[in-house]
């Protein structure tokens, strides 16, 4: 059996193996890697996973894509089990019935955010591939964060042999705790950079670095943002877990709906790919805050870039969703030439518009809703007062979305993407006194920090990366 292969959404690279796409991150033609064929999973096989632990179930899902020609079965099992062992609960992502629906708690990892699920695995895949000959054993990971990716990437890569990890974040635009989760890590291979600008500026600097061939190849550049296919693949696992746990409670439920707080589109895209593979998923809801480019697309077909509005859910303050290109490739009928034309126009005009059959297809694939600050705070207040449950401001966007769409039921799962303790300023607006934070977060206050401030300038960033790896 051979592993699934991958090609760029824009057609410039085809038929790459898993190791190559993980190590390369972004395609050379600026496209994103997508599977050449999605493996199918029959309902009988999913049923056979019902009694498995989370890590064992995750191995079954990942091994649909990753065969012995890429990672030996025992090594794959080792990578997944070690990744899951860093979580504070044995279920890894426990699911709870609250308010007439389910909440999937994705915040029990080292940095209290959903990104730990994928980034613990990605760090261990990087380590294995470097140990077995990739890049001559060296990798410079350059990532951009709107708050949670940075600390999760750092937790997955700190102390890893042969890896330098450089994380760019928008100065003053992440929560204080999110920043401290990054800047208090003492390992010498970790470098935190506060960039004067927005998250989209940071993301553009990362993409531009990948599109500078001499620099990219000299430093052996790698990606931790969800442009890296491994991130999306690892995140499919908790959709299978959710389905199995919900149907444990009610065998009559034939499919589940999932509401996903969405910024860069990677998390909900993992659900979409799971559904295409055969997982019984009903509505996939794209839940956005005021930065609602995705909601506007699924409402009227307009993917039009606007300026970022600062909100109380900073991890979703994104005006261009980097993973959306993977879905647009699917919407274009897997036609790389058509997709490349769309992206070229979008990069020039900042606008992409679909209508007619294409819009109808998009609306069949995804529902969407927008929750502004007032609606988000209202959901947080309601769940605290009625159910004694504290939602983070991102998770509350997902809850507001199912209320708006009349999807509140025990066949609906809201993805809780981060722990409320990371966002005390937002939580305190509706809950006073604040809940006691987890001790791991409280301890950050007294630790020394390290960070570098740099302008929103590509040359300055690349010079810093070169300094880090020299």
- DSSP for residue 426: H
Q: Looking at 40, 64, 67, 115, which residue is catalytic?
A: 115
Beta bridge partners of 313: none
Quick one: which of 315, 267, 244 has its CA closest to 106? 267
Q: What gap in Å lies between CA 363 and CA 297, rounded to an integer? A: 9
Angle at 392 between CA 391 and CA 395, to 5 degrees: 75
Q: What gap in Å lies between CA 270 and CA 103, rounded to an integer? A: 17
Backbone angles phi, psi at 367, to 5 degrees: -95, 170
Residue 165 contacts residue 207 (beta carbons within 8 Å): no
Count other Cβ atoms within 10 Å, centred on residue 344: 12
Tokens representing residue 259 in the block: 């509401």
Q: What gap in Å lies between CA 30 and CA 347, rounded to an integer? A: 12
Count other Cβ atoms within 10 Å, centred on residue 355: 10
Quick one: which of 425, 431, 416, 309 has its CA closest to 378? 431
**What SS3 state is found at 265?**
coil
Residue 281 contacts residue 239 (beta carbons within 8 Å): yes
Pairing of strands 221-222, 139-144: parallel
Residue 134, by phi and psi: left (phi above 0), alpha (psi -120 to 50) or beta? Answer: beta
Q: Give the containing element (helix H, strand E) for 163.
A: strand 163-170
Q: What is the DSSP string of 201-253?
A: HHHHHHHHHHT-HHHHHHHTEE--STTSHHHHHHHTHHHHHHHHHHHHH-TT-
Let me know if 386 is a catalytic residue.
no
- DSSP for residue 32: -
Tokens representing residue 233 in the block: 């693949």
Query: Mapped to the 3 state alphabet, what secondary structure does 398-409 carry?
Result: HHHHHHHCCCCC
How far is the CA of 252 from the CAs of 46, 142, 411, in angstroms? 16, 46, 10
Angle at 38 between CA 37 and CA 44, to 5 degrees: 140
Residue 229 contacts residue 21 (beta carbons within 8 Å): yes
Tokens representing residue 436 in the block: 């006691």
Positions marked catalytic: 115
């Amino acid at each position: 059996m051979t592993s699934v292969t991958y090609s760029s959404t824009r057609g410039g690279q085809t038929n790459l193996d898993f190791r190559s796409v993980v190590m390369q991150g972004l395609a050379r033609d600026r496209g994103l890697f997508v599977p050449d064929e999605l493996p199918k999973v029959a309902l009988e096989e999913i049923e056979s996973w019902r009694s498995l632990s989370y890590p064992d179930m995750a191995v079954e899902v990942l091994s649909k894509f990753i065969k012995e020609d890429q990672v030996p079965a025992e090594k794959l099992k080792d990578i997944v089990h070690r990744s899951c062992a860093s979580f504070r609960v044995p279920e890894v992502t426990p699911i709870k019935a609250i308010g007439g629906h389910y909440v999937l708690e994705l915040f029990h990892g080292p940095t209290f955010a959903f990104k730990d699920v994928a980034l613990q695995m990605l760090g261990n895949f990087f380590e294995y591939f470097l140990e077995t000959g990739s890049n001559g054993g060296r990798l410079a990971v350059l990532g951009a964060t709107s708050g949670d990716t940075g600390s999760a990437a750092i937790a997955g890569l700190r102390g890893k042999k042969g890896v330098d990890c450089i994380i760019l974040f928008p100065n003053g635009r992440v929560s204080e705790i999110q920043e401290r989760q990054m800047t208090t890590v003492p390992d010498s291979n970790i470098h935190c950079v506060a960039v004067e600008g927005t998250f989209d500026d940071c993301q553009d600097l990362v993409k531009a670095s990948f599109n500078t061939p001499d620099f990219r190849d000299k430093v052996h550049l790698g990606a931790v943002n969800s442009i890296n296919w491994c991130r999306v693949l690892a995140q499919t696992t908790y959709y299978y877990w959710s389905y199995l746990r919900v149907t444990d409670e009610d065998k009559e439920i034939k499919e589940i709906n999932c509401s996903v707080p969405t910024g860069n589109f990677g998390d909900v895209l993992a659900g979409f790919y799971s559904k295409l593979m055969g997982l019984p998923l009903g509505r996939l809801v794209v839940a956005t805050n005021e930065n609602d480019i995705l909601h506007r697309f699924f409402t009227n077909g307009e993917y039009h870039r606007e300026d970022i509005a600062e909100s109380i859910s900073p991890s979703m303050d994104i005006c261009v969703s980097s993973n959306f290109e993977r879905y647009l490739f699917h919407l274009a009928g897997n036609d790389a030439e058509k997709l490349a034309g769309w992206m070229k126009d979008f990069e020039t005009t900042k606008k992409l518009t679909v209508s007619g059959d294409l819009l109808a297809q998009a609306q069949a694939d995804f529902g969407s809703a927008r929750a502004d600050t007032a609606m988000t705070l209202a959901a947080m207040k309601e769940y605290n007062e009625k159910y004694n449950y504290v939602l983070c401001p991102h998770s509350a966007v997902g809850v507001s979305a199912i209320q708006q769409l009349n999807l509140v039921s025990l066949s609906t799962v809201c993805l809780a993407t981060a722990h409320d303790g990371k966002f005390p300023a937002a939580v305190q607006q509706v809950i006073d006194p604040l809940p006691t934070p987890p001790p791991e977060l409280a301890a950050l206050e007294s630790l020394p920090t390290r960070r570098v401030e740099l302008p929103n300038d590509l040359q300055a960033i690349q010079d810093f990366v070169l300094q880090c790896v020299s």
